[in-house]
Structure 1
């Protein structure tokens, strides 16, 4: 069954090529397609295109299908082109002509647009929850190891003293930056395209404000051409969020791989979190973090892939957009998996103690010596030159004490302030209002 089916049959090879992976990927959209239809039929009744009894029948059938979709999953049967065809087929099979009425006033174009926005909106909510779990794990480790010093590097050269508290909390605060990006993306997604039809509206007196409220959108995409141009743009913005968070996670994974190596030995993990070698019995490999690094590197290429899929397209719908699902759906899943495994593994990391007592790190304290001379009244440039001469002639005696007290330094990590920054940012998401609207639409208690 195809929503555009006419009096002729499509060539089977052409059909297989054009359908592509839609049947498989559309299973992700099933609950959202049903919710979009629930809002649409309520609106159709409000403008007189459905009788009250027909609305009740459609709502009951759609809510039953929704429950199946969220609990058991829904597949697109052979012969069905996509999830939109599948849902309409099931309704028509149960309700006859009443099921055939649900497509009035919409096109597959705005139907898939609203499905995607509802799905993407839920994915961003889930990603933000997973980010919060990782954020909490990082701050927990930062608090636990705030006094354990760590060599800080620039140019791969030992540079200045750092600490594990500073290292862990740096990534926690970086996640706040990523959350801000996700919030901007969420607010762009949270506008209703339903009613734009094929991109040029419809001659029915549609009440788009009603469907906006029913689906929990904060506003609607008013211009119908603009609404249609959201296809591709939404995916591109999502790709920036995915790539940005992947950059944070990938750098963290790269640090871990470096820090657990024998030449550094800054971190260790329980044996059960590492893998071995088929030939070298001593090996304990950080495969999880190497795979994280590789996955995150791959995810950072996603914006290029999305932008190239849509490059040069004029306004209006194009079948090219179908391939966006194949890029963005797996990427969302991979990012969630990366967040989950990091949240699981990082609390098990054990930092090494007394690292800076090693003689190789004696020059880490050169800046401390310079600053002490400045505090005693010597101009900074003279102090810098004096300590440099001591290092060169072998007379430098490092102080080996760190006296950093300013905000965000080793001695003042500002962990409560970083947590407050997260909380302020998280408050900008209207998750609760959206969840309430969705539950009401689905006929569930809130």
Structure 2
């Protein structure tokens, strides 16, 4: 069954298979939101007189029954039915008769799928936000617990200056704050109602778009009906940008963990059940989880570019190209949530080595400290730098770890965890 079918017309099976593609698979993710959009639309039709109140009430009751089947994972798209929109209308017509045939008044599948995707993305962005906040809280908590556990800091992968586990994890916590700024922007773009834009040029019916916006709890609506359709693809791309920012942070953190659990570093370790072994090397404890987080998140970072290539040269109006945004974006949403959850699992079971910097190979980490100590005693910086450099070249450099003293904001001795948490709370308020 196709909503656009006419008498004495048919479509080649090969063309139909090609054009439908993976739509049914992804339409199941949209079913809940398609029913929500239909309930709002039908309620509004009853209020503006395009359906009687009794008809609208019956249709809404039937739609709520369909929603219950979706909630209980009992909803499917039948063989021969084109998409989720057709399936919902078909089921409703079975329940309430010809009333079900009235619910498409003033709608096109174009604005149906547009509102479904906006509702879906709004919900999923919120779910990602919650997982990011959980990881943020864990990073802050673990960082504070290990704020006095020193680590070597690196530039050019050469030992540079003293750092700490608290400073390391706190850096990723603050990175997530900026990531959520982009995700919050995506949420605002998704939180606009396109319903009522029809095929992209509005309708001669007296639709009340402000009412459906209110019923669907959107923040506002896409006012211009042409732009409501143009927001397809753009909304997905903006969401992809926010997701790619989170993914970039996870990928970098995963890479750090791969390095730091390497035997040549040995800063952190994990239980056997969270690592994997080798088929021939019995000593191996491989960081497969971190490697896959890194790989999956690197792939997620390509999504804005994929979507750009898909929508870049399209003129205004609806185009079938938009169908492919779902297969680019939807699976990556699940992957990103899984990566966030697995990163939380790993870090909550991480064991940190103590007294790392007492190892002789890290003594030059404190060269800057020695220079600063001389400057504090009145020696000009360039002269102090030369003195310490000469002592290193002669093999005479020594430094007492107990002299380490950092106090400024965002340093080893002043992590500013409370301030970073306050910044996170500001961003969360934007959702």
Most deviating of 91-100 and 392-401: 392-401
User: Corresponding residue for 1:3?
Assistant: 3
User: Corresponding residue for 1:326?
Assistant: 327
User: Corresponding residue for 1:78?
Assistant: 79
User: Corresponding residue for 2:305?
Assistant: 304
Q: Distance in 1 between matches of 2:74 and 2:223?
A: 33
Partner secondary structure for residue 159 of structure 1: strand
Deviation at 1:351, TM superposition (A): 1.0
Partner secondary structure for residue 162 of structure 2: strand
User: Corresponding residue for 2:199?
Assistant: 198
Partner secondary structure for residue 338 of structure 2: helix
Conservation of the 8 A alpha-carbon contact between 1:368 and 1:399: no
Conservation of the 8 A alpha-carbon contact between 1:27 and 1:73: no
Q: Distance in 2 between matches of 1:380 and 1:106?
A: 73
Deviation at 1:73, TM superposition (A): 4.7
- Could you say what the CA RMSD is over the residues aligned between the two structures, in angstroms? 0.9
Q: Distance in 1 between matches of 2:77 and 2:399?
A: 70
Q: Distance in 2 between matches of 1:392 and 1:308?
A: 55
Deviation at 1:71, TM superposition (A): 2.5
Q: Distance in 2 between matches of 1:115 and 1:387?
A: 65
Conservation of the 8 A alpha-carbon contact between 1:109 and 1:228: yes
Provide structure 2 residue ranges, at least 5 long, that are not aligned to the other structure.
none
Partner secondary structure for residue 403 of structure 1: coil
Partner secondary structure for residue 344 of structure 2: helix
Deviation at 1:402, TM superposition (A): 1.8
Q: Distance in 2 between matches of 1:173 and 1:56?
A: 49
Q: Distance in 2 between matches of 1:331 and 1:225?
A: 28
Most deviating of 26-35 and 294-303: 294-303
User: Corresponding residue for 1:405?
Assistant: 407
Q: Distance in 1 between matches of 2:323 and 2:112?
A: 13
Q: Does 1:355 align with 2:356?
A: yes
Q: Distance in 2 between matches of 1:382 and 1:73?
A: 77
TM-score (norm 2): 0.98
User: Corresponding residue for 2:20?
Assistant: 19
User: Corresponding residue for 2:426?
Assistant: 424
Q: Does 1:51 align with 2:61?
A: no
Most deviating of 6-15 and 34-43: 6-15
Q: Distance in 2 between matches of 1:103 and 1:390?
A: 83
Q: Distance in 2 between matches of 1:236 and 1:332?
A: 13
Aligned length: 429
User: Corresponding residue for 2:182?
Assistant: 181
User: Corresponding residue for 2:33?
Assistant: 32
Conservation of the 8 A alpha-carbon contact between 1:23 and 1:75: no
Deviation at 1:396, TM superposition (A): 1.5
Q: Deviations over 1:74-130 (max 9, x none)?
A: 221111111000000101111111000000001000100000000000001100111
Q: How does 1:55-66 map to 2 (within 5 A)?
A: 55-66=56-67
Q: Distance in 1 between matches of 2:175 and 2:75?
A: 38
Q: Does 1:261 align with 2:262?
A: yes
Q: Deviations over 1:377-416 (max 9, x none)?
A: 1111221122111111222122323210111110011111
Q: Distance in 1 between matches of 2:75 and 2:405?
A: 61
Conservation of the 8 A alpha-carbon contact between 1:105 and 1:197: yes
Partner secondary structure for residue 106 of structure 1: coil
User: Corresponding residue for 1:394?
Assistant: 395
Q: Distance in 2 between matches of 1:73 and 1:254?
A: 41
Conservation of the 8 A alpha-carbon contact between 1:369 and 1:399: no
